[in-house]
Amino acid sequence: MSREQAKKRDSEFDLIERVHEAEYPFLKLPPEPAHKLTVTLEDINFTEEKYLVYENYQRVVHKDEPAEITRRGFRRFLCESPVQSKFITTADGKEQFLGSVHQCYRLDGKLVAIGVLDLLPSCVSAVYFLYHESIHKYAPGKLSAIREIALAREAGYRYWYPGFYIHSCPKMRYKMDYTPQYILDPETLTWDLVDKRVMDLLGKKRYVSLSKEGDVDMLDQGLKTEARQSSNDGGVVDANAEDEVEHGHGEQQDEKQGEKQDGDSDCHDCYEEDNDMFLFNTGMPGVMSLDEVRSLDELDHIKLRIDGSGRLVETGDLVAWPRQDVGTHGCLKAGIAELLAALGPELLEGLCVDFWNPAF
């Protein structure tokens, strides 16, 4: 390293550069290092090498009983995923991989840690991280978090999702070591910056919505309307639409709504009335029949816009899509089917259904 390069390194921090500089493929040789660290993205398939790290981690760190740790459990827990693997072309023309992967850390050729990641259109989602007890003193959890943040930046995934945060769980406190951190408002589905006020509220209440807190504050000043408007400002993620692609939550929502309606006679009556308005039950002339829509090749390839990134996905990419039926009123697939039936086959080329609403 030249004097100028050393001076620049001391005065400027480049996360991607610092993360890679300890990895063997990025070292300038000779001399040979005392140890060799490599980090690779691999398929989420089961191997005995991976299982041995899992067994050690669950037994030593989580204190699981040996009888509770099985190869079958490891396969089901960390080697199976509903996320479809595929390559997409981003808005700037770059090829990007989507799917579930194992980020494998090897020291001198031995697997010592595994990060289980979902690589999604707008984020690197950290599912689980496990490591061998022999590297515990090197704080591998922090290393993995920084490595995943670098991956999100380097490969254009934009955000790093550390997953759920349970304030009362000490094991999750480490997630707040990384800033700036944002937490999802359960009422408005907007992302709010985590600051001291948010942490104080999480310590006092079991349910926290900053938009609700804002409404209370503004109501005291006679400004409730302004509070509602302000809760919809700022950077926004359409979490419901995104969940349908990433985790299949859309179908679960439909099922939950159906259960609630079945348990309430008034709601059930409303549901029956809505079902009568299902396009395929109205006998409306000029629209395609249910069987005609089922036979459309385009049904699984309708373009969807789910966020503000400009990226498009197809209906067939939705995890819940194969499990839904066009004849089941109330699910997303039936709604798309109604749209296609009303438009007709002549207008399907170039059709894009836009779910992105920056007001939410």
Q: Residue type at 193?
A: L
- Residue 259 — pLDDT band, cuts 50, 70, 90? very low
> pTM of the full predicted structure?
0.60
- Give the confidence band of 111 by pLDDT, cuts at 50, 70, 90: very high
Q: Can you give the pLDDT at residue 244?
A: 34
What value does the mean pLDDT of the chain take?
A: 80
Residue keyed to tokens 């409404």: 215
Residue 110 has pLDDT above 90, yes or no: yes
Above 50 in pLDDT, residue 271?
Answer: no
Residue-level pLDDT at 293: 93
The pLDDT score that the predictor gives to residue 232 is: 34
User: Confidence band (pLDDT; 50, 70, 90) for 275?
Assistant: low
Quote the CA–CA distance of 77 and 257 in Å, as a whole number. 28
Mean pLDDT throughout 192-212? 91
- Rounded to an integer, the average pLDDT of 185-204 is 90
Position 359 scores a pLDDT of: 54
| Residue 7: burial class (beta carbons within 10 Å; 0-12, 13-18, 19+) | exposed
Architecture of domain 13-163: 3-Layer(aba) Sandwich (3.40)
pLDDT (tens digit per residue) in 26-45? 888 889 999 999 999 999 99
Instruction: Average the pLDDT over 59-67 and give the result.
Output: 91
CA nearest to 174, candidates 183, 185, 184, 166: 166
Where does CATH 3.40.630 sit in the chain?
13-163
- β partners of residue 126: 117
Angstrom distance (rounded) from CA 317 to CA 129 = 26
Question: In the predicted model, is pLDDT for residue 258 greater than 80?
Answer: no
